Structure 1
Amino acid sequence: MTVIVELTVPSEAFELGRVLSVEEPGQVTLETMVPLGGRPTPFIRVKHNARDEFVQRVREHAAVSDIRPLNTHDGEVLYTLEWNPSTDTLFKTILEEDIALLGATGSADRWAFELRFPSHETLSEFQEFYVEEDIDVTIERIYNPTKPDAGPWYGLTPPQRETLTYAVENGYYSLPRGVSTKEIGEEFDISDQAVTERLRRGITTLVSHTISQLDTEPRR
């Protein structure tokens, strides 16, 4: 049975946190990771940070092959990062143990992760790993998304919940649409691209934690 864990890790405690170092009030969001050429390639969104200084710091890291900006909107920059995770024991463990990375956001001193473990046994193995590696992990919350009392929002982060609720209540999914992503972005002070991504991730998380968990009947 799956289990959701929200945890925080100091930015200096793992390699990708050191690679993507930002200065206050900078913030890094790991949008997604896709396997390219046998390596997980992160797509990261950075805001409130000096672009040139950030890119220079990242490129100087020995584990980084390249970092490229994909687009810029309202002060946010989306990058793709060519990075060798071979020495990042935290991410190697997440990838090898089939742990789903639902969300990851970093600041100057700390990263917050939301992880979905396929079982409690996998979670126990992960806990043994970071204790042995002396990684300072702080568990914020653990819950089972299939239990009514496990958590009220089925893995949704507060921004995802608020944005999805606002979109539904204001007719974003109606025909014709009652509100646009640009208007939603203005409500939450984010770009329309960020709105689209937040809605997509929110819906994916919601379905993963509800419908797909309950679909246990054999298909005919």
Structure 2
Amino acid sequence: MSVIVEITVPSTAFELGQILRVEPPTEVTLETMVPLGGRPTPFVRIRNDARESFERTVRDHPSVDEIRLVNTHDDETLYALDWEPSEASLLRRILDLDAVVLGATGTADAWEFELRFPTHEALSAFQDYYVDEDIEVSVARIYNPTKPDAGPWYGLTSPQRETLAAAVDAGYYSLPREISTQELADSFDISDQAVTERLRRGIATLVRNTLLVDEEES
């Protein structure tokens, strides 16, 4: 049975947080993880006004081979990070346990992760790991998305939940559509690409954690 955990980790306490350092009040969002060449490739999004210092800081880290600009849209830039995580890194351990990063957002001080582990045993192994490595992890909540008392979010991050709820309330999914993608994005002060990505990932998460749960367990 899968289990979802929401945690907070100090930015300086794990390797990726040290690499993706930002200055307040900038936030960096981990959009997705793609296994390329046998190692995890993070795709991260950041505001354009923080690009110069962010790129310089990332390139200076010894484990980074390259940071590649994927695209720029409005006030945000998407990067792909080519790096070699250490065997004991937090992110590598998460992936080795077949966990899925449902959402991750970092600031100068801390990163918030939402992780889905395939079993409670995998989550326990992850907890043993960060205790043994003396990584300060704060657990906000742990829940099984298939249980009635798991809460209404079913693995959605706060931005995904808020955007999906606003889209439905405003008639984004009505026929005819009552609000445009740009208007919805403006209400959150983000780009239309970012709001589309939130909706896409949010819907995918809802389906994965509800309609596909029985299929995965079988």
Instruction: State whether TM-score is above 0.5.
Output: yes
After the TM superposition, which parts of structure 1 deviate over 3 Å for at least 4 consecutive aligned residues? Answer: 214-218
- What residue identity is the alignment partner of 2:160? Q
Find the counterpart in structure 2 of residue 7 from structure 1: 7
Number of the residue aligned with 2:121: 121
Give the whole-Å Cα distance in 2 for the aligned partners of 1:94 and 1:80. 19
Aligned-partner Cα distance in 1 for 2:95–2:216: 26
Shift of 1:176: 3.2
CA distance in 2, matches of 1:103, 1:211: 20
**1:206-217 correspondence to structure 2 within 5 Å:** 206-215=206-215
1:1-220 aligned at under 5 Å gives the runs 1-47=1-47, 49-87=49-87, 89-215=89-215
Distance 1:200 1:63 in 2: 32
Deviations along 1:22-69, one digit per CA (max 9) or x if unpaired, are 010011100001111222111100127521111011101111111122
Take 1:216 and 1:39, find their aligned partners in 2: how far apart are those partners? 25
Q: 1:49 to 1:136 in 2, by over 3 A?
A: farther
Residue type of the alignment partner of 1:84: E
1:85 counterpart SS class: coil
The answer to whether the Cα contact below 8 Å between 1:15 and 1:88 also exists between their aligned partners in 2 is no
Aligned-residue identity in percent: 65
- What TM-score results when the alignment is normalised by the length of structure 2? 0.94
- SS class of match (1:202): helix
Query: How far, CA to CA, are the matches of 1:76 and 1:216 in structure 2?
Result: 35
Unaligned 5+ residue runs, structure 1?
none
Question: What is the number of residues matched between the two proteins?
Answer: 218
Distance 1:217 1:134, change over 3 A: closer
Distance in 2 of aligned mates of 1:209 and 1:216:
10
C-alpha deviation, 1:164, in angstroms: 0.7
Query: Which whole-Å CA distance do the structure 1 matches of 2:49 and 2:5 have between them?
Result: 28
Unpaired runs of at least 5, structure 2: none
Note the C-alpha offset of 1:77: 1.4
SS of alignment partner, residue 212 of structure 2: helix
**What is the CA–CA distance in structure 1 between the aligned matches of 2:88 and 2:17, rounded to whole Å?**
10
| RMSD of aligned residue pairs (Cα, Å) | 1.7
TM-score by structure 1 length?
Answer: 0.93
Q: Work out the CA distance in 2 between the residues paired with 1:54 and 1:100.
A: 26
- 1:110-165 Cα distance to aligned partner (Å, 9 max, x none): 00000001111111111111100000011011111100101221111222112112
